[in-house]
Structure 1
Amino acid sequence: MLRFMPVGDSMTIGSAGEHTWRYRLWQHLRGTYGGPFQIVGPRETLYDQATGEPDSYEYADPDFPRAHLAGWGEGWQHMAPLIGEAVRAHRADVLLVSLGLIDLGFYTNAEQTVDNVWAFVSAAREARPRVRMVLLPVIPNIRAQEDGPFAEQVALFNTLLAKTAADLDEPRSPLLLASSPEGWDIHTDTYDGTHPNASGEHRIAGAFAGAMYEAWGLGEPYVA
């Protein structure tokens, strides 16, 4: 039984009324993995933009394993202290991680954010030495188009993340850097310049699925 744990920020937790990329990836794995698997994590809810609280169960299709470790406004610095217990409690085998935009936007610069990546990976491995991880680069959003210094930080972080993934990769606990979602366009793949719409959900799911297939032979190429 392979246990996948999605870890992320607002793009991963999703909002009331959405499917989320977690749902799209679950659908893909259900049809292509060829073995038993679970989606695991300590949380299940969506973010309710009307109330400003992560307490909604109003998924577009609630009939799927909704577990995750994601939060609106949370980044590497928030998840690093939580990941060890989450991995230990839910026996996660594969972490699917999409973090960094909120860190760079509000909390830490690129170098400081990478320090939190190291802390996250260390805590996850301490809890489960053979855990595998797939890291998604930060997807530039509308702010990156309008704010030059922020765009530079996003680009620098993604460069440092690639180096970090190479430095921390090891045979017993592989660390895989996914490619940015192919063809991503903030005008057609998001509803506000940042958060994915249905098209964006498929592209993010495809980035994770493609990385696991190409590197580990897990599943098949993603088809929306």
Structure 2
Amino acid sequence: MLRFMPVGDSMTIGSAGEHTWRYRMWRHLCETYGGPFAIVGPRESLYDKTAQAPVSYAYAEPDFPRAHLAGWGEGWLHMAPLIGGAVRDCRADVLLVSLGLIDLGFYTNAEQTAENVRAFIAGAREGNARIRMAVLPVIPNVRCMSDAPFAEQVAAFNELLAKTVADLDEPRSPLLLASPPASYDIHTDTYDGTHPNASGEHRIAEAFAEALYQGWGLGADYEG
């Protein structure tokens, strides 16, 4: 059985009332993956904006495997120390990782964030020497439209991320850089310029699905 773990920030955990791209990805795998699989992770909740805490289970469609390692306001900086234990305890085989926007926005510059990517990858491999990781570049958000230095940091980090993935890729534990979601539009695919609405969820799931299929032959083209 192949065990997938979604890892991410607020765009991955989602908030009360949403489906999340995790749900869209699970549906895609149900329809296209030819063998048994599981969605794993140490957390299951959504973020509750009223409580300002990840305490909600009010998914738009609650009947799916909701496990993940994602957090509102958490980035590579926060996940790097956690990933080894999560991979080991949940026996994860494939990580679907979407991180970086919060790091660049509040915590670290592009170079420092790239160092945390390296720490994350090392930690994941400590948890499972044969772990596979599909990594999504940072999707520019509305802040990039008005904050040129931030936009430059996002672009610089995405270049460093591509180099890091290429440098650290190895046959025993392959790394895969997903392509950014095709035609992603913050005006129509988000509800606030950052967080995905239903169409944005599909586009993020599609980015991971296409990477898995084209890179490793897992699943099929996304038809969500």
**TM bracket (short chain):** over 0.9
Secondary structure of the 1:4 match is strand
- Equivalent-residue separation in structure 1 for 2:170 and 2:183 (angstroms): 30
Residue 51 of structure 1 deviates from its aligned partner by: 1.2
- Equivalent-residue separation in structure 2 for 1:152 and 1:40 (angstroms): 35
- Equivalent-residue separation in structure 2 for 1:80 and 1:51 (angstroms): 26
Deviations 1:110-142 (A, max 9, x none): 000000000000010011000000000000000
Q: Does 1:117 align with 2:107?
A: no
Q: Trace 1:1-224 onto structure 2 (pairs within 5 A).
A: 1-224=1-224
- Equivalent-residue separation in structure 2 for 1:77 and 1:215 (angstroms): 27
The code of the aligned residue for 1:101 comes to L
Residue 2 of structure 1 deviates from its aligned partner by: 0.2
Number of residue pairs the alignment of both structures matches:
224
CA RMSD of aligned residues (A): 0.4
The code of the aligned residue for 2:97 comes to V
- Equivalent-residue separation in structure 1 for 2:118 and 2:131 (angstroms): 15
- In percent, how many aligned pairs have the same letter? 77
Which runs of 5 or more structure 1 residues have no equivalent in the other structure? none
The code of the aligned residue for 1:77 comes to L
- Equivalent-residue separation in structure 1 for 2:211 and 2:134 (angstroms): 8
- Equivalent-residue separation in structure 1 for 2:161 and 2:199 (angstroms): 25
Q: TM-score, normalised by structure 1?
A: 1.00
Q: TM-score, normalised by structure 2?
A: 1.00
- Equivalent-residue separation in structure 1 for 2:216 and 2:201 (angstroms): 22
Residue 88 of structure 1 deviates from its aligned partner by: 0.3
- Equivalent-residue separation in structure 2 for 1:124 and 1:14 (angstroms): 23
